[in-house]
Amino acid sequence: MSTPTQQQVMDALATVNDPEIKRPITELGMVDSVEVAEDGSVAVHVLLTVSGCPLKDTINRDVTAAVTSVAGVTSVDLTLGVMTPEQRASLKEVLNGGKAQREIPFAQPGSLTKVYAIASGKGGVGKSSVTVNLALALAAQGLKVGVVDADIYGHSVPAMLGIADARPTQVDDLIMPVPTPSGVSVISIGMLKPRRDQVVAWRGPMLDRALVQMLADVYWGDLDALLLDLPPGTGDIAISLGQHLPSAEVVVVTTPQEAAAEVAERAGTMASMMHQRVIGVVENMSFLTLPDGSTMEVFGSGGGDRVAETLSQRFGYDVPVLGRIPLDPSLREGGDAGKPIVESDPTAPAAVVLRSVADRLAGRGRGLAGMQLGLTPTAKF
């Protein structure tokens, strides 16, 4: 077999994406040198963005696999180094596209990223569960999805996505979102704290800074959708988001309960006051299916409809109920295990509803366009 060329090895390396930045390592200046010997052995030196990069094992594995796949390669000797400050500065320039820093990319006029803020009136209604499942369902459609966990009280999103203890890599003042095994990129307000067990006792200006940091100082790349898990209620984060991202569309999560519906309406009204559009209501914990097949309305009924009707009347446009998610122990188990139900138990009724809500967000399932009508041709013409 003939000796592989350096170009063939470089072409193979161009198929390896940095797991955090999600762009080819060749574009990012991470491939420092490639040497191909006559016997087909290849020596590659790859530069990590920072020392102790948490994903160096992934890079190691992907680079080795890519180079090994080139015809004629007999062995791969991969060594890892770390970028110098100058190399990091030019990487940052590549990532920023030469633009000034600290602008929120999603707030720019040409932004193609759909931003969804998931809001609720009170805690414990399943807002974070809805956020992570919608994110995974959208990613499963092939969309590039980011999640900002802005819930100062809970910040449970990383644990629900299986990255509880992850800390983001920082390239100088640029923060890399943490990739999940399902390919969703995540930043949580909990990751900005020095210690995980620390309480976030921040008020307006600090929270505003944290939100801007998560939107502007994080390298999100080209996202199709960004989901924000908001804290429950109508507090400072909701106001800041309205100021910085009025184009965000809001999904209100409620339970069927009267009291939950009332506070959910307030959260929706708040969004509208900030000139954001409320695109729908998700009713969670709608019913429980008992072993005999009957259903039990554990938290009463009507909350979702009530919020949808009230907000539709108040705003003068249609705010639909996007879905009713049943109570399901496997939804909770999936969240606790870091593998949300749309992945861990995709045929469960709750997962089916969550996927259909994601379809509606992605613009599918509306009207008849693109829907399977279930017609079978019976004859050939």
The smaller minimum CB distance to ligand ADP, of residues 19 and 126, is found at: 126
Residue type, 322: L
Q: Quick check: 242 binds ligand ADP (CB under 6 A)?
A: no
Residue 188 lies near ligand ADP (rule: CB under 6 A): no
- Are residues 260 and 305 in contact, defined by beta-carbon separation less than 8 angstroms? no
Please state, in angstroms and rounded to a whole number, the distance separating the CA atoms of residues 149 and 155.
6
Smallest separation (angstroms) from ligand ADP to the CB of 229 = 7
Which of 113, 129, 133, 185 is close enough to bind ligand ADP by CB under 6 A?
A: 129
Single out the residue of 332, 363, 370, 371 in contact with ligand ADP (rule: CB under 6 A): 332
Q: Contacts with ligand ADP in 296-325 (CB under 6 A)?
A: 325
Question: What are the structure tokens assigned to 193, written together?
Answer: 């704290």
**Binding flag, residue 327, ligand ADP (CB under 6 A):** yes
Does 285 bind ligand ADP (CB under 6 A)? Our answer is yes
Residue 124 interacts with ligand ADP (CB under 6 A): yes or no: yes
Burial 149-159 (b: 16+ CB within 10 A, else e): bbbbebbbbbb
Which residue's CB is nearer to ligand ADP, number 53 or number 125? 125
Give the residue with the Cβ less far from ligand ADP, 88 or 127: 127
Contact 31, 6 (CB under 8 A): no
Query: Residues 189-198: contacts with CB within 8 Å, 24+ apart?
Result: 189/149, 189/150, 189/151, 189/152, 189/155, 189/214, 190/149, 190/155, 190/158, 191/158, 191/166, 191/167, 196/165
What is the Cα–Cα distance from 148 to 162, expressed in whole angstroms? 15
Closest to ligand ADP by CB, 156 or 310: 156
Nearest distance from residue 248's CB to ligand ADP, in Å? 18
Q: Does 210 bind ligand ADP (CB under 6 A)?
A: no
Count, residues in the chain: 381
According to CB under 6 A, which one of 54, 72, 123, 349 is a site residue for ligand ADP? 123
Residue of 70, 125, 161, 171 interacting with ligand ADP (CB under 6 A): 125
Contact between residue 44 and residue 9 where contact means Cβ atoms under 8 Å apart: yes
Sequence-distant (6+) residues with CB within 8 A of 83 are: 29, 30, 47, 48, 49, 50, 91
Nearest to ligand ADP of 113, 129 (CB atom): 129
Shorter beta-carbon distance to ligand ADP: residue 31 or 350: 350
The span from the CA of 197 to the CA of 12, in Å, is 43
Verify binding: residue 102, ligand ADP, rule CB under 6 A: no
Under the binding rule (CB under 6 A), the answer on residue 234 touching ligand ADP is no
Helix, strand, coil distribution of the chain in percent, nearest 5: 35, 20, 45
Nearest CB to ligand ADP, comparing residues 55 and 125: 125
Residues 49, 180, 284, 310: which binds ligand ADP (CB under 6 A)? 284
Question: Judged by CB under 6 A, does residue 331 bind ligand ADP?
Answer: yes
User: Around Cβ 166, how many Cβ atoms within 10 Å?
Assistant: 17
Tokens of 245: 């991202």
Among 22, 114, 127, 355, contact with ligand ADP (rule: CB under 6 A)? 127
Report, in Å, the least distance between residue 123 CB and ligand ADP: 4
Residue 156 makes contact with ligand ADP by CB under 6 A = yes
Angle between helices 236-244 and 258-273 (to 10 degrees): 40
Residue 134 CB, nearest distance to ligand ADP (Å)?
Answer: 12
Q: Which residues bind ligand ADP (CB under 6 A)?
A: 120, 123-129, 154, 156, 284-285, 325, 327-328, 331-332, 335, 350
